[in-house]
Amino acid sequence: MTAHIGDFGLARSFSELRLPNESSSVGVRGTIGYTAPEYGMGSEVTIHGDVYSYGILVLEMTTGKRPTDSLFEGGLNLHNYAKTALPDQVMEIAETKLLHETQAATINSQIRVRARYNSLRDCLISMIGIGVACSVESPQDRKTASAILTKLHLIRNNLLRNRAHH
């Protein structure tokens, strides 16, 4: 549960060779689809933008869809795609590789299969919920880093408890 992520797509660059009368040239760049929408309107880089990018990354991992996927045209984006699936259609939008273990378990008893399916579904609902809460349009409405961490620990503990029980 220790993630190490590095992305140099978002950076501030300052011109070192400025004349005294020139204003500083600050440009914010980012990876399309992962950069918070407020950056496109000239807002300063903040932790809210990092939370947005994290939310998009979580949605990409759980759905298998990139924010730049051709599916997302005409106003549809990864955030809205995931949000409309909560909670009842998460298994339909989930990355198929995540479902493989549950599908392969059909050899086992039906009770075990159902328990694994329910555990995975609950985990996906929670993870997609985190991704959606982190990638809302308004920076002030996004989850805080501490709230995200608390929720991730809860999800992990539930998964471990369910695996030990079944």
> Which pLDDT tens digit goes with each residue over 51-73?
999 999 999 999 999 999 999 98
pTM across the whole model: 0.79
* CB half-sphere exposure, 117, CA atoms < 13 A: 13
Mean local confidence (pLDDT), 138-159: 94
Q: Tell me how far CA of residue 147 lies from CA of 17, 47, 63, 144, 151, in angstroms.
A: 42, 13, 22, 5, 6
Per-domain residue ranges of the chain = 46-165
| pLDDT (mean) for 127-148 | 96
Quote the CA–CA distance of 63 and 36 in Å, as a whole number: 19
Q: In which element (H, E) is residue 43 found? A: none
| Token pair in block for residue 39 | 């950056």
Give the integer Cα–Cα distance in Å for 166 and 156: 15
d(CA 22, CA 121) in angstroms, rounded, equals: 56
Q: Thinking of the domain 46-165, which architecture would CATH place it in?
A: Orthogonal Bundle (1.10)
* pLDDT score recorded for residue 43: 85
pLDDT of residue 30: 75
Q: Which of 28, 29, 35 is nearest to 67 (CA)?
A: 35
More confidently predicted of 23 and 140: 140
Q: What is the mean pLDDT of the chain?
A: 82
